[in-house]
Amino acid sequence: MTEPDRPAILGGEPAFAKPPSWPPVPWLEVEEAAQRAMQDGSWGRYHGPHCRDLVEALADYHSAENVQLCASGTVAVELTLRGAKVEPGDEVILAAYDFKANFQNVLAIGAVPVLVDLDPQTWQLNPGSLEAARSDKTKAIIASHLHGGLVDMTAVCEFAARHGLVVIEDACQATGATVSSNGDGRPAGMAGDVGVLSFGGSKLLTSGRGGAVLTNRADIAQRIRLYTHRGNEAYPLSELQAAVLLPQLRQLDEMNATRLRQASHLARLIEKLNLPLKPLAPLSLEEPSSSQPAFYKVGFQYTGEGLSRDRLCSALRVDGVALDPGFRSLHRTHSRRRFRTGGELAQADVADERCVMLHHPILLENEAAIEHVARTIERILAHAEEVSAAPEPGS
Ligand SMILES: *Cc1c(COP(=O)(O)O)cnc(C)c1O
């Protein structure tokens, strides 16, 4: 017997019996593209039209002079470091709260990650902490837009220009966002010297795996080309992958607009219901702005006290809501011998414990689904004591 109005973890009916999946099935334009690639044989070739077309379409979309397709976003970040001429012993600054592979890529080059703290409001890399991190070995800064938030690229680029550093912009979670850069809006990935996209299996543009590097710096593009072309491509994206990405890119703006509208709707409901969640992204649609977030995840600072962050997330999972704990902060999960820090990491400590992120597929559902998400969170928090005491789901 299920009981109404109780969280699913306490025996209630799950709020979402069938949570939305990604990629959506069916996705007709994508299926047609795959079918055409099957029928004309391009799926089985080294050199067909699709990678060429995708390079052109991405270059067009981003106003990028150089686009290098590759096997993953992770490899793309490594390529940017090589393109930036980062060498063993050099230092690369990145936020202490970032995608683990970015840290590992710096190590893979033989360089040293230097971790800096986050902006207290947005939990993105704090440009104010760059000065304390810099040394004469610093070569590059990795700026990742995470969970719907956007790094202050104007400040990062201004600092980098002053000190001759390369800015690597990780737009894997922000594909199609517009980033304010010196008062102008630029496509995410094009605000620094070189940008990275991921086409991994859950991303806004997906071919299961894949990535791309974008840059207007001819020298960086040339070094990356030399590194990847070894008489054969070392980290290729396939024709079939490119074929299924093309129709997705054509729909990206429209889908991003829907996701933004829905994320804003959720933020308004959270405020109205007084839920202890503070969005990382600026979500007031009313203010005109030269920046516009994109939502691979909708990140929040969880400020609740009665229920642990991890328990809130696991209870929501049972209700079919894909709200997950954020990343582990890098300084808390790696040996001190592997990195240097630039100043205190107080915000990155809190983010490690209190960041939550809602996965994007729900944002393409209707408004009622978003209201249902907010009500489900409210209901779990209203039963905080019982939910805390319930056995771990699945145990
Ligand atoms: C997904 C992601 C990447 C790259 O991931 P791949 O799975 O290797 O394509 C890089 N940075 C961030 C912030 C990401 O979210």
Query: Using CA positions, which residue lies closest to atom 13 of ligand 1?
Result: 99
pLDDT of residue 183: 84
Query: Using CA positions, which residue lies closest to atom 14 of ligand 1?
Result: 172
Answer whether 301's CB lies under 8 Å from 354's CB. Answer: yes
- Whether domain 252-389 has CATH 3.40.50.1950: no
Answer whether 219's CB lies under 8 Å from 326's CB. Answer: no
pLDDT of residue 17: 94
**Digit-coded pLDDT (tens) for 72-103:** 999 999 999 999 999 999 999 999 999 999 99
Residues of the chain with pLDDT under 50: none
Question: CATH fold of 28-248, please?
Answer: Aspartate Aminotransferase; domain 2 (3.40.640)
Category of 254 on φ-ψ map: left (φ > 0), alpha (ψ -120 to 50) or beta: alpha
**28-248 and 252-389 share one CATH topology?**
no
pLDDT of residue 287: 60
Cα angle 118, 198, 180 (rounded to 5 degrees) comes to 50
Q: How far is the CA of 74 from the centre of ligand 1 (A)?
A: 6
pLDDT of residue 282: 79
> How far from the centroid of its chain's Cα atoms is residue 261's Cα?
18
Residue 33 has phi, psi (to 5 degrees) of: -65, -40
Q: Is 229 exposed, middle or buried (0-12, 13-18, 19+ CB in 10 A)?
A: exposed
Q: How far is the CA of 172 from the centre of ligand 1 (A)?
A: 5
**Digit-coded pLDDT (tens) for 123-149:** 999 999 999 999 999 999 999 999 999
pLDDT of residue 284: 62
pLDDT of residue 245: 98
Q: Which residues line ligand 1 (CB under 6 A)?
A: 72-74, 99, 101-102, 144, 146, 170, 172-173, 198, 200, 211
pLDDT of residue 286: 55
pLDDT of residue 211: 98
In the chain, where the domains are located: 28-248, 252-389
